[in-house]
Amino acid sequence: MEATQIKKERLPQLDIYRALAILGVLHVHATSFATVDAIDSRFYYIINFLNIFFKYGTPSFIFLSSFVLFYNYYDRPLTKSLITNFYKRRLLYILLPYLLISIGYFFVRLYQNGLLNSSLDLGAQLPVFFERLAKGQNYTHLYFVFISLQFYILFPLFLKLFKSSKFLVRWAVPIGFLLQWGFIVWNKYELHYSTKGSLAISYLAYYMLGAYLAINYDKYKVWLTSTWKKQTSRQKRATIALWGGWLLMALTHVQIWYNTRLLGAKYDSLWYEFLWNMHTVFSAIVLMQAANWLYQSGWKKIIAVLTRIGELSFAIYLVHPLWLAFYRLYDFNLNPVTDDYLMWIYGGMVSALIVSALVVQFILRRIPGSWVLLGSVPRSLKPKAPSKPERQKQESVAGDSKKSVDL
């Protein structure tokens, strides 16, 4: 295994997974203000449901990122060139966009706070910018990219440990939960770090789950990819347990926040942590199975749309808050208790998806060098290389042209 590189099966269904995950992110961000403003709405349960049920987005992206990394790298020799190329790609396609997009959002925040004017002392703002940059806080959603960068730094170490110890692979998931929850409890009673959601250790269970599933993918592949009719009795029982546990945890998570927000109920903070953790861990695997089922469904148009959304998901994640900020400027003075307000809120989610997808697709396809701001360009948007006959024809024409010049 160390001597040769094993060619891995391409998993196109993962783009559908990314699409489902970004839909979760958009639902949460589109409803964030409404959970406060529409507290007296008769549709508040729906608003709260949308805001809490779809909180699987960011954890699912972290799980998938880990899965993809270990799926692609675990069976490859751990060489200096491998590590160098890994960091080079993350520097170009993740760190550079993070830096540039953070600069842009920093000015957006200055504008929103009424500070972007002729009296702005940019020098005085630089320490604020760098402090927020170091915590992923130049805008509300950038913490996810900051967390990803932390995991990228640690990835070669995790990879070396897992490649050297079957014990660590076998116990990766329990270890992930133990370390994550050890930090949660430690922070609650001693550290009191207010922005723990920007630290990678707060998501270590998802990272370890992704690593474990990637390394053992052949063991679980048949179950995850088989449709209900093709599953064995044992696989069906596992699917029922997975989806049943997911719905139980998700709906309980929704209810505890409904009780808190609307009814003023108070629970120990560890209950919120536990239900969020269980809801989103179940979601990570449910989305994996759902993405496979959708990919095999035969719904070509839906698959094509979801695949394109998945390909653009990172860029959509980066830019969609700009549209939401603009969209919220035109609330038409709607009363949050009216039926129209719910439609306006959901319109923000739908329009954020459509506008962001169209804009980033245009930029990535038409503007050279746009990867520095939006990350790597999807293969489907890159200029197609000429086919072999076309190349031969071009070479023939070029050769004839050269002969004419020489003569």
Map out the domains of the chain as residue ranges: 13-406
2's CB contacts (< 8 A; 6+ apart) are 77, 78
What is the reported pTM? Answer: 0.91
Contact 193, 199 (CB under 8 A): yes
Q: How far apart are CA 127 and CA 140, in angstroms?
A: 18
Distances (CA, A) of 203 to 58, 65, 150, 279: 10, 12, 11, 13
Buried (b) or exposed (e) across 30-39, using 16+ Cβ within 10 A? bbebbbebbe
For 308, counting Cβ atoms within 10 Å of its Cβ (0-12 exposed, 13-18 middle, 19+ buried), the class is middle
Q: How far apart are CA 287 and CA 224, in angstroms?
A: 10
Q: For the chain, how are helix, strand and coil distributed in percent, rounded to 5?
A: 75, 0, 25
Listed residue (153, 151, 173, 155) closest to 163, CA to CA: 155
pLDDT along the chain (407 residues), means of 10: 62 97 98 95 96 97 97 94 94 95 96 87 92 94 95 96 96 98 97 93 98 97 95 97 98 98 96 98 98 95 97 97 95 91 96 98 95 94 68 53 39
Locate 22 and state its tokens.
Answer: 């970004």
Listed residue (76, 97, 111) closest to 142, CA to CA: 97
Locate 186 and state its tokens.
Answer: 């430690």
Q: How far apart are CA 340 and CA 249, in angstroms?
A: 31
List the Cα angle 10/13/14 in 5-degree steps: 85
pLDDT at res. 315: 97
* Alpha carbon 181 to chain centroid, angstroms: 22
> 3-state DSSP call for residue 76?
coil
Contact 317, 141 (CB under 8 A): yes
